[in-house]
Amino acid sequence: MMDDSRSPNVQPSVDTCGCAGGPRRTCDVCRTSQHVFMAYSFRCLRRHQIEAHGDTVPAATAARVRDFQRRMNRHPSRTWDLYAGHRQNLMALVPRISGRGDVCVLGAGSCSDIDVEQLSRTFHQIHLVDLDGEAIEHARDKLPTGLRARVVLHGDVDLSGFLDRLDDWGDTFPSDAELGPLAVAAAHGIVARLGRTFDVTVSSCVLSQLPQPFQSSWVMSQAAWSSLDAAITGVHLTTLAGSTRAGGSGFVAFDVLSSDQAPALIGLKDRGADELEAFVAHMAEEGEGSSMMQPDPRILLSQLQSPGLGSLFASPRLTHPWLWDIGADVQLVYGLVFQRG
Ligand SMILES: C[S@@+](CC[C@H](N)C(=O)[O-])C[C@H]1O[C@@H](n2cnc3c(N)ncnc32)[C@H](O)[C@@H]1O
Ligand SMILES: [Zn+2]
Ligand SMILES: [Zn+2]
């Protein structure tokens, strides 16, 4: 699964399976910024993959997504040193509680943007959740021996809730009326997998990752993408609500814009928070209401205050933004803190 398909200003050449209907799938195995193979259905896609890439390519798209994520988490740019500034920003915003409760980190991966040793001074157990079970295992194995017993792993947990639907929904995407209850059921399934609630939950820059496998695999209308984005965000917020104990608190760190889309972010790397806030305010004025940020922090905040979720989240608020230098580009990151109502 290649990942440069969203480079700006590049029109890729297109090959198709030749069927008359409009394409619904793209081949994630050979997709690049220069070329894309489009297929009418899962069957057409599979035929192409066997012919072009051989029958060792896993048939289920979800299996390829898991492989891809494992490779990404082994990427040499994911280093502890590179993430230091981002990690400090993130760790400073993790809610502190009195006593020694347990914390759960969603999207913990290689634990480069969270400091487990620092968490261990405030919390008793540290639960790490990720799709990539190997990444969190390696992260735990690097910790001092005495601390490892307090780290509990939850590998192979799909926080989008829908990865295993990639192939059937690629052919027939559910209506909005169907999607809402499916999102609630998916979130309940994730919470049941975790098996308990936590005093503090932290979501560490996983939200932007959740729709990506679908974007690399499907061709859909803008309206359907909006429905999917809303459903996946709903799954994540409901998961956070369901896994935080009543009276507990949570923190969501989420990246909203990359320097690929807004090159000015690179020049702001060594500037203070005020200049970054001014840049974001200016961008909002230029955009005349339509934000380049995805998700728009204010919209995410309003979702936590909406009639559906509002009763679960007390006093949610946005934090200041900060920049995360990930080597290949720079990401603008916001935080959202909440109490579990
Ligand atoms: C950008 S990384 C966040 C950085 C990570 N906290 C770290 O320090 O390495 C996103 C993490 O989300 C995980 N992820 C991506 N899609 C996921 C999904 N559907 N469910 C659970 N985790 C997912 C990846 O495996 C990766 O570890
Ligand atoms: Zn076809
Ligand atoms: Zn292909």
Parent domain of 24: 13-57
Same-domain check for residues 41 and 179: no
Q: Which ligand 1 atom sits closest to the C-alpha of 163?
A: 19
Same-domain check for residues 17 and 149: no
Angle (nearest 5°) at CA 264 between 261 and 267: 135
Same-domain check for residues 17 and 163: no
Same-domain check for residues 20 and 92: no
The CB-based long-range contact list for 188-192 (8 Å cut-off, 24+ gap) reads 188/238, 188/242, 189/161, 190/157, 190/158, 190/159, 190/161, 190/235, 190/239, 190/242, 190/243, 191/239, 191/242, 191/243
Identify the residue whose C-alpha is closest to ligand 1 atom 6: 108
Question: What residues does the ion ligand 2 have nearby, CB within 5 Å?
Answer: 17, 19, 40, 44
- pLDDT of 143-175, one tens digit each? 999 999 999 999 999 999 999 999 999 999 999
How far does the centroid of ligand 3 lie from the alpha carbon of residue 171, in Å?
17
Which is nearest to 323 in space by CA: 113, 111, 94, 119? Answer: 113
Q: Work out the average pLDDT over 90-115.
A: 94
Q: Which ligand 1 atom sits closest to the C-alpha of 112?
A: 8
Report yes or no on 64 lying in a domain.
no
Identify the residue whose C-alpha is closest to ligand 1 atom 27: 109
Same-domain check for residues 202 and 132: yes
Looking at residue 164, its pLDDT comes to 97
Q: Is the pTM of this model over 0.85?
A: yes
Q: Is 208 in the pocket of ligand 1 (CB under 6 A)?
A: no
- pLDDT of 21-58, one tens digit each? 899 999 999 999 899 999 999 999 999 999 999 999 99
Angle (nearest 5°) at CA 183 between 179 and 184: 125
Identify the residue whose C-alpha is closest to ligand 1 atom 10: 206
Same-domain check for residues 137 and 42: no
- pLDDT of 196-254, one tens digit each? 999 999 999 999 999 999 999 999 999 999 999 999 999 999 999 999 999 999 999 99
Examine the pLDDT at 328 and tell me if it is beyond 90. no
Same-domain check for residues 318 and 213: yes
DSSP for 49-79, please give it.
HHHHH-TTS-SSHHHHHHHHHHHHHT-TT--
Looking at residue 286, its pLDDT comes to 78
CA-CA-CA-CA torsion sign (180, 185, 186, 192): positive
Q: Is 73 in the pocket of ligand 1 (CB under 6 A)?
A: yes
Q: Which two tokens stand for residue 329?
A: 């580009």
Same-domain check for residues 51 and 127: no
Q: What share of the chain in percent tops pLDDT 70? A: 95
Domain count, the chain: 2
Q: Is 204 in the pocket of ligand 1 (CB under 6 A)?
A: yes
- pLDDT of 278-308, one tens digit each? 988 888 777 655 678 999 999 999 999 998 8
Report yes or no on 2 lying in a domain.
no
Q: Is 216 in the pocket of ligand 1 (CB under 6 A)?
A: no
How far does the centroid of ligand 1 lie from the alpha carbon of residue 267, in Å?
27
Report yes or no on 250 lying in a domain.
yes
Looking at residue 92, its pLDDT comes to 96
Report yes or no on 23 lying in a domain.
yes
Of the listed ligands, the closest to the CA of 23 is 2
Q: Is 202 in the pocket of ligand 1 (CB under 6 A)?
A: no
Report yes or no on 72 lying in a domain.
no
